[in-house]
Structure 1
């Protein structure tokens, strides 16, 4: 048993760091979300911020854009060219994706300063791409509403998760301790 533990020690350490980071950040995020009363259709502040940033991006394409609180559910409606085109709910703010990203980077440890900088830059990249994703999705839904399932359920999740995967590959191959040990061999 001891030999197995020693043999799989790197994997077990990775798994432990990943799970601990993911669980800790998820509990913090859930505590944050619990401050808002979904029964009263309250939308968390970060999702509101994402909605307003999306509105700002959409105004680059057309000035006839605004957001408003949804009257019967905890979401923010995006009105584009006079049409209710999409809504932003808590799951649209990409914080859960950022938590997953951070947990993976922490699990593949690197130098502390590099790790913190990469987490910060990667989180900002994910956030900005998420805003662009929602804006482009809104425009696409305005022009092609019949492709809602394909656009919202397939194409745009592939983009956001593809970028996260690319960031992970860059982290593992360039900045993690794993990258420095394999480069020395």
Structure 2
């Protein structure tokens, strides 16, 4: 038994760090969400909606938000047309939890790990705001493609970028990265 543990130790450590980090962050996020009533939009989703609105307004887009619903979401109007409903799942926190868990599980030096998590999380957040804004513009212009844009293209895009960040981390900064001689 000890022989197998020694043989699989790096893999088992990876799994332990990943799941412990993921469970801790998911639990902390759930505690955060529990502070809000069922019909209330959480503050992170509200901030993402506001940043999406500001991003679109930077390009002189006619965009408005309506948070008066009783179901815990924010309506986004583009050119006076109801385009999207921003819910808790739109704020990319679940993607950030996954990203951080993976980086921690392949941790490197503490300072490098911290700054990669910080920079990567900021990049993912900004990318998500741009993703929502582009999704709204494209759905407005191509309403028949909404299902493909929302369900296939944009998730593939954001998860693809997160995957590239993981590859960069593992190959350049983690303790497993090959050191050039």
Give the TM-score range, shorter chain.
over 0.9
Q: In structure 1, which of residues 84, 88, 91 is the aligned counterpart of residue 89 of structure 2?
A: 91
- Structure 2 residue runs of 5 or longer lacking an equivalent are none
Q: CA deviation at 1:61?
A: 3.4
Residue 183 (structure 1) aligned with residue 179 (structure 2): yes
Q: Is the 8 A contact 1:77 1:88 kept in 2?
A: yes
Residue 59 of structure 1: SS of its match in structure 2?
helix
Q: CA deviation at 1:57?
A: 1.0
Q: Distance in 1 between matches of 2:21 and 2:40?
A: 28
Q: Partner of 1:31 in structure 2?
A: 31
Match of 1:76 in 2: 74
Give the deviation of 1:183 after TM superposition: 2.4
Match of 1:9 in 2: 9
Map 1:103-122 to 2 at 5 A.
103-122=101-120
- Could you tell me which residue of structure 2 aligns to residue 168 of structure 1? 166
In structure 2, the CA distance between the partners of 1:168 and 1:27, relative to structure 1 (3 Å rule), is: same
TM-score, normalising length from structure 1? 0.95
How much has 1:73 moved relative to structure 2? Answer: 1.5
Q: Distance in 1 between matches of 2:153 and 2:103?
A: 25
Q: Is the CA contact (8 Å cut-off) linking 1:54 and 1:135 kept in structure 2?
A: yes
Conservation of the 8 A alpha-carbon contact between 1:62 and 1:81: no
Structure 1 residue ranges without an equivalent (≥5): none
Q: Are 1:100 and 2:98 an aligned pair?
A: yes
**Aligned counterpart for 2:134 among listed residues 133, 136, 158:** 136
CA distance in 2, matches of 1:83, 1:69: 15
Structure 1 runs of 4+ aligned residues shifted over 2 Å read 60-63, 182-185
Q: 2:40, 2:70 within 8 Å by CA — same for their partners in 1? A: no
CA RMSD of aligned residues (A): 1.2
User: Residue by residue, what CA displacement relative to the aligned partner does 1:7-59 show, whole Å, maximum 9, x if unpaired?
Assistant: 00000000000000000000000000000111xx2000000000000001111
